[in-house]
Amino acid sequence: MINKVDDKGELPIFRARSRAGDFIFCGTIGVICLISALFFAHGSVLAGGIIAGGYLIALILRYSLLSDAPAVRAGTNVSEEQLELIERLRALLNALPQPVMLLNDEGSIEMSNRASEEMFGKQSTGRHIAAVIRVPKAHEALRTLEATGKPVETEISLTGAQERTALFYAAGLGISNAHDRGAMIVMLRDRTEQKKLERMRTDFVANASHELRTPLASMAGFIETLQGHAKNDPAARERFLEVMAAQADRMLRLVEDLIGLSAIELNETKPLTDKVDLAALTASVTESLQPIAQAKNSELIVETGDVPAMVLGDRHELFRLFQNLCENALKYGVNEETGRATVTVRVGFGHPPAREGYIRTGDSAPQIAVRAGVEEARLVHVQIADNGEGIEPNDLPRLTERFYRVNPQLSRAKGGTGLGLAIVKHILGRHRGGLQIESQLGEGSTFTVFFPPLQGEQLPRTLSADKDKRTERA
């Protein structure tokens, strides 16, 4: 086995010695000590102590210098030329973007490159492959390689913080040395993005074909009617064209939502770089939706306060998130008695007061705080509340499913695609946030989104004072 490199990435020559070298060195020191003893014919105790002490000191120095060096099989030595070749091999492996591991005949990892250490940790070298890659399909592939001697390739799933898909490739090294005939090389190629793209393409085709079938069939029927007996009927032509325009607009929104959802899924693993003030962003969203609210004879109120609510995120995605929630509240939060919707958007910190009598589902503030590793009081929340008719309890857990509609006919009549809350869910997933839904029939609904604060952001002064007071009372 080859020794490890030092902090500078170099391989010190004095550490690359074999067990045979250790025995030769010890034997040489012993012979020198015996020859020296001949010069002390009187047999002095002091002379014997000096000889024994020198011998022990030499052994201690020898093994202290080699304490970090793994053992090499007896009878083997590593020359400087071989060391240079090993260093070049290590540099070559480190230059590869895919994880690569060299296994000995016992299945232990003798050498791994930098990409492998990034994926499985720096302590993987020296461990058995079964302790590093705990995937039955991978071990089955290695057994097949041992039995047939032919290279094997299989697709495996790696669990962790995020599930990944990789192509596992293993081949024998064909070493003639009797001790290393079973040596193998293992390489993994990450296929997570490719699998995600394939799944997105499949989902897009399935969803688009399902959702577009009805409006396309409707438009085809109207066109056939206009080409037939309604050809010379101006009133029917005007009515049919109006319906066809509405169906075309619905299909356009559906395609835009599907493309947007696919783009969000594709960017889920990309790091967030924008510092976003949610108070300013929600104010901008509500301002852009004021014309829609006025057209519906509804009211859109925003309560952001004077304290910035900073988070790390994607400004475009967050704008779309709050836009979807506010539009949904204006569409479906209409009070039957007044015929108008009153939507209130509030920005705050920690957990907002629970609404008495409301049924709650989704993520809670404590869950998100633990998941994000922050104090619950430091969470940033945005709450969108309406005074509509509420949502049936059985429908609450399914609201974020794709194409799920509480009232399909009402949703289609209002131009809904059934993807708005699915988009919200995926955006929150990328931002390590969560969604909590509260509703009571006849009273209204509340959608609250939680976000971890920007790292290093201080707790607002007013909240800090309140927290200190609570601590003092406790």
Residue bearing tokens 């793994």: 70
Give one DSSP letter per residue of 93-132, joined into a string: HHH-SS-EEEE-TTSBEEEE-HHHHHHH-GGGTTSBHHHH
| Exposure of 286 in the CB half-sphere (CA atoms within 13 A) | 23
Closest by alpha carbon to 286, among 304, 274, 310?
Answer: 304
Residue-wise pLDDT for 298-324, tens only, equals 888 888 877 788 899 889 999 999 998
Q: Which of 16-20, 72-76, 100-104, 234-238 has the highest mean pLDDT?
A: 100-104
Can you give the pTM of this predicted structure?
Answer: 0.55
Beta strands 342-349 and 299-303 are parallel
Three-state SS sequence of 218-285: HHHHHHHHHHCCCCCCHHHHHHHHHHHHHHHHHHHHHHHHHHHHHHHHHCCCCCCCEEEEHHHHHHHH
pLDDT on residue 43: 54
**End-to-end alpha-carbon separation of the chain, Å?**
60
183-196 tens-digit pLDDT:
888 999 888 878 87
DSSP string, 351-406: PPPPPTT-EEEE--HHHHHHHHTS-GGG-EEEEEE--S----TTTGGGTTSTT--S
Check whether 253 has a pLDDT greater than 90: no
The pair of structure tokens assigned to 345 is 């958007």
The answer to whether residue 371 scores a pLDDT higher than 80 is yes
- 64-78, 112-126, 342-356, 397-411: range with lowest mean pLDDT: 64-78
pLDDT at 20 over 60: no
When pLDDT is averaged across residues 333-344 and rounded to a whole number, the result is 86
Strand 342-349, strand 380-385: pairing: antiparallel
Residue-wise pLDDT tens digits, 199-227: 767 766 776 676 677 778 888 888 888 88
pLDDT band at 390 (very low <50, low <70, confident <90, very high): confident
| Residue 450 confidence (pLDDT) | 93
Q: Mean pLDDT across the stretch 442-458? A: 83
- Supply the pLDDT for residue 10: 40
- What is the pLDDT, as a whole number, of residue 384? 92
| pLDDT at residue 11, rounded to an integer | 39
Q: Which of 342, 381, 343, 388 is nearest to 460 (CA)?
A: 381
Write down the pLDDT at residue 247: 80
Q: What is the pLDDT of residue 7?
A: 44
**pLDDT tier for residue 458 given thresholds of 50, 70 and 90:** low
Total length of the chain: 474
Distance CA 281, CA 304 (A): 10
Of 247, 248, 227, the C-alpha closest to 237 is 227
Q: How confident is the model at residue 464 (pLDDT cuts 50, 70, 90)?
A: very low
Encode pLDDT of 52-66 as tens digits.
677 677 767 766 665
Cβ distance 65 to 22 under 8 Å?
no
Per-residue pLDDT tens digits for 279-289: 999 999 999 88
> Which residues lie below 8 Å from residue 181, measured CB to CB, with a gap of 6+?
105, 175
Q: Is the pLDDT of residue 386 over 80?
A: yes
| pLDDT over 60 (residue 469) | no
Long-range contacts of 13-18 (CB under 8 A, 24+ apart): 13/80, 13/83, 14/65, 14/66, 15/65, 15/66, 15/68, 15/69, 16/69, 16/78, 16/83, 17/66, 17/69, 17/72, 17/77, 17/78, 18/72, 18/73, 18/74, 18/75, 18/76, 18/77, 18/78
Q: What is the pLDDT of residue 415?
A: 63
